Chain A
Amino acid sequence: MTLLNPPSSDILVTVKNMTKTFNTGKGLHKRQVHALRNVSFELKKGRALALVGESGSGKSTVARLLTRMHLHNSGEVLYRGQDINEFNTHRELAQYRKNIQMIFQDPYGSLNPAHTIYHHLARPLFTHGHVKTKIQAIEKVNDLLRLVELDPEATASKYPHQLSGGQRQRVSIARTVAIGAEIILADEPTSMLDVSIRLDILKLLNKMKNEQDMTFLYITHDIATARYFAEDIAIMYQGQIVEWGNTSSVIDNPQHPYTQLLLSAVPNPHISFTEAAIEGSELLEQANTIREKSMAPIVETVEYNSQHFYAQHD
């Protein structure tokens, strides 16, 4: 797969033909699940790539492989030109993971209920040697909390249960900054939050991207937030990236049938259901055929414009 590659951009991560197969079941029920098939993309400094797809399409597996929670079966993942499978010593791996961090979907599950917010932020600062003394740590934690727009005085001594969902997600974000990550893999960071808070979190991530040049892989099923936050988008279906490129181009001129199906089903408040039913009925009738066709291995990629590509199947 060729990738869009503006010459000025600085490529941090290159994923080439990454494949991951999980073995499940035992004995007669043994079978293989092809979670990822020949996935390729690049993460560029200061930009966000949105990975969009339905549940089970393999989006989260991508994040797990990038952090090396799992190992990929074949293909290459390069971080600044180095193969991540070659990070074998504890130190190399720790160094790599320091640079690439995750924010999870559930802010209620990703913080330890028995520790204060100060502890959550100070611990990575100490373990990664960013601070030496407690006084330094307190100061740095306060800076971090201010960065994510939380009141340092009031928040640092609190426990996770005393914070709202949005505040907890802000703490998770502060934690990735504390470690000193330059790449953040955000796996549905807003889907468990209330509608009115979602945009605030996205604005915060946007600020980090623009002001601190942070790089994001934004995993979501929400097309609208992907458009709001990410410059590039990749549409995944059944472990393959079927269409990718500039976000506005892909959303406004979808070429792959699955992307078209997906976008036709995104709720649009300006089109009533009766109208949408007529408009989208043809696509929906073909939904199963489209799904079946999109399952087939990709044989060719087509360039729609220099910033927008889509796949063709058998």
Chain B
Amino acid sequence: MTTSQSLSQATEQPTLVIKNLCVDYLLDESEFRAVDNVSFNINKGEIFGLAGESGCGKSTIAFAISQLLRPPAYISGGEILLNGDNTLTMDKKTIAKTRWSKVSMVFQSAMNSLNPVLTIEEQFRDMFYRHKGYDETESAKRAGQLLELVGINPNRLKDYPHQFSGGMRQRIVIAIGLALNPDLLIMDEPTTALDVVVQREILLQIHALRKEFGFSVLFITHDLSLMTQLCDRIGVMLKGELVEVGKAKDILHRPQHPYTQKLWQSIPAAFEQNIAEQRATNTREVFA
């Protein structure tokens, strides 16, 4: 199903095109290249995964897309096209409008990014006021609908963040992220701090919501098993470079780059059938 979907979309304009992106960090006397000549596309409605170890530049790419990099980091080359528009040449006003309405972001510790002294209703209000000019009642009504979407009872709008569990807070942040129907949702390790059952519940919701609303997702994690399960295509990063891009199934069964192969070998398998498979690949390599 995924294959036919991506085929039919091949002619459509991709939601995000990244061309030869380079990001440098200014050091005392030199520069450190955090992202080196990275290019990839995310098609409409696609979940694209970026895998790699800490410090390989995957989060830097996420920040670059929404133009949130702060000095000493700067984009030293390349293009970021969002629906065909180059975000790097936009003026500040357009970027401010683009953020959240076109690209929204959910961070790893997103559940801690809610303001502890505001009720959930008030957390939504600022965004609705700035982007849509909604008044209080309109914003509350829409916020209620969004909470329902992520499986939280709307009568909890008047509650404060500390009254929710970690998983629920993360869902609230996702609801805020989806509030303006963005074209691209960037999720940077969205479920790392949660236990697996809650992680599954949240990702199933994202999976279903994506089908309903057709947004694209850039999914960043170090959990290669989870990524292979959820994503349509995966890019593997190593020291700032994108070393392999492919369909999730190919990354799993036919990893080309030695680093991707090494990553797979370093993950112990949980289930019997996978253990057998892992043993098989390991012996194959010994004989090769």
Contacts and interface: CB of A to CB of B under 8 A. Distances in A.
A12 B144 CA distance: 56
A274 B210 CA distance: 12
Given A55-B195, A194-B53, A195-B53, A251 B271 contact: yes
Contacts of A251: 270-271
Nearest to B262: A196
A227 to B, nearest CB: 6
B274 A268 contact: yes
A273 interface: yes
Contacts of A154: none
B269 interface: yes
B43 to A, nearest CB: 17
Contacts of A55: 195
Nearest to B228: A269
Interface in A237-275: 248, 251-252, 261-274
A130 interface: no
Interface stretch (B58-66, B71-79, B132-140, B196-204): B196-204
Contacts of B2: 272, 274
A248 B268 CA distance: 14
B270 A224 contact: yes
Interface stretch (B27-35, B107-115, B120-128, B218-226): B218-226
Contact of A267 (B54, B207, B223, B268): B223
Contact of B225 (A264, A267, A274, A284): A267
Given A267-B223, A270-B277, A273-B229, 7 more contacts: A55-B195, A199-B265, A267-B196, A268-B225, A274-B207, A277-B207, A284-B200
Interface in A110-124: none
A209 interface: no
B229 A195 contact: no
B197 A269 contact: no
A222 to B, nearest CB: 8
Interface of A is mostly: helix
Interface residues of A, number: 39
Contacts of A264: 200
A224 B269 contact: yes
B285 interface: no
Nearest to A198: B266
A267 B197 contact: no
A199 B252 CA distance: 19
A268 B270 contact: yes
A225 interface: yes
Interface of B: 1-2, 53-54, 195-201, 203-204, 207-208, 222-226, 228-230, 248, 252, 262-263, 265-275, 277
A1 interface: no
A66 to B, nearest CB: 23
B168 to A, nearest CB: 12
A200 B265 CA distance: 11
Contacts of B226: 267
A200 B262 CA distance: 12
Given A199-B267, A251-B271, A269-B274, A287 B197 contact: yes
A199 B266 CA distance: 6
Interface of A: 54-55, 194-200, 202, 221, 223-225, 227-228, 248, 251-252, 261-274, 276-277, 280-281, 284, 287
B267 A224 contact: yes
A54 B197 contact: yes
Contacts of A224: 225, 267-270
A266 B196 contact: yes
A265 B266 CA distance: 21
A20 B121 CA distance: 38
- CB-based closest 5 A-B pairs: A54-B195, A228-B268, A265-B200, A267-B226, A269-B228
B262 A273 contact: no
Nearest to B51: A195
Given A195-B222, A224-B267, A284-B204, A274 B1 contact: yes
Given A195-B222, A195-B266, A224-B267, A267 B272 contact: no
Given A251-B271, A267-B226, A195 B263 contact: yes
